[in-house]
Amino acid sequence: MSVTGVGGPSTAGTGVTGISLLDKAFATARAESRAALVGYLPAGFPSYDRCIEACRVMVDAGVDVFEIGLPYSDPLMDGPTIQAAADRALAGGTGTADVLRTVEAVAGMGVATVVMSYWNPLERYGIAAFARDLAAAGGAGAITPDLIPEEAGPWLDAAAEQRLAPIFLVAPSSTDERIRVVAETNAGFVYAASTMGVTGARSAVSDRAEALVARTRKATSLPIAVGLGVSTGDQAAEVAGYADGVIVGSALVKVLLDDPDDLAGLSALTSALADGVRRKAG
């Protein structure tokens, strides 16, 4: 039963869970000898309704997994593009309930959907309540960039109870021990941040990303998705040559920052990225 009454049908009661959709997305990509395309937009940006329209456009253009950002006023990892989008969403009154409604709508499109959120908003909402409501909305899990497994006990317990994927990050500076702990704790996939910097489109993906993926593969059989810096089809193809997933956020957000009505431009960029993960580099 849907808990929000918005968007597509919830997976609850059907035997299909968000995490199973997430596993299926990466398995399908692997079977097709390609990487999965993971797309990101903040909930409520440029508005609630336009965000849902934009998500539909991106899914139709080839996104395999969706990250719905929970707008937050004090981000640590967000670059200026995503910060500007989050500020617009917050100014429009977007709250956690709206994020969950967006998850339900996107999951209802048949695509695996996770939330990207800093820890403070989840703690304010209530960890057990958030896990319950995220699962009811058809969500697959949550990426928590400012949380480490050793301090995530309440979230790990709640996620396990609701069959959600806790997704933590590794970075080029991560020790082998840190990578091992994250790999043993994560479900769904491991998020490999290509750089220690904030989010943002770059002219080239960090040359440390491939080495990070290789180090992480030694610790896990989970899919490894690389984020931070990918903005073109060619860059997506490069990353798809060594990673299981390619995460794109700022480049997609920028299209709508420049023109909230440019759904055609958003579709074109998404299609180029989807082509990139399918052809790979070289």
One of 78, 133, 238, 244 is an active-site residue; which one?
A: 78
- Residue 85 to residue 67: CA distance in whole angstroms: 14
Give how far Cα 109 sits from Cα of 58, 62, 137, 206, Å: 11, 12, 12, 33
Question: How far is residue 75 CA from its own chain's centroid?
Answer: 16
Neighbours of 213 (CB within 10 A): 20
The candidate with the shortest Cα–Cα distance to 30, out of 276, 272, 244, is 244
Rg of the chain on CA atoms, in Å: 17
Quote the tokens at residue 95.
Answer: 């709250």
246: number of Cβ within 10 Å: 28
Active site residue 161: no
* Amino acid in position 55: C
As given in the structure block, the two tokens for residue 268 are 């074109």
**Annotation says 60 is catalytic:** no
Choosing from 23, 64, 67, 210, the catalytic residue is 67
Kindly report the backbone phi and psi dihedral angles of residue 177, in degrees, each rounded to the nearest multiple of 5, phi listed first: -65, -40
Say if residues 82 and 118 touch (Cβ distance below 8 Å). Answer: no
- The catalytic site residues sit at 67, 78
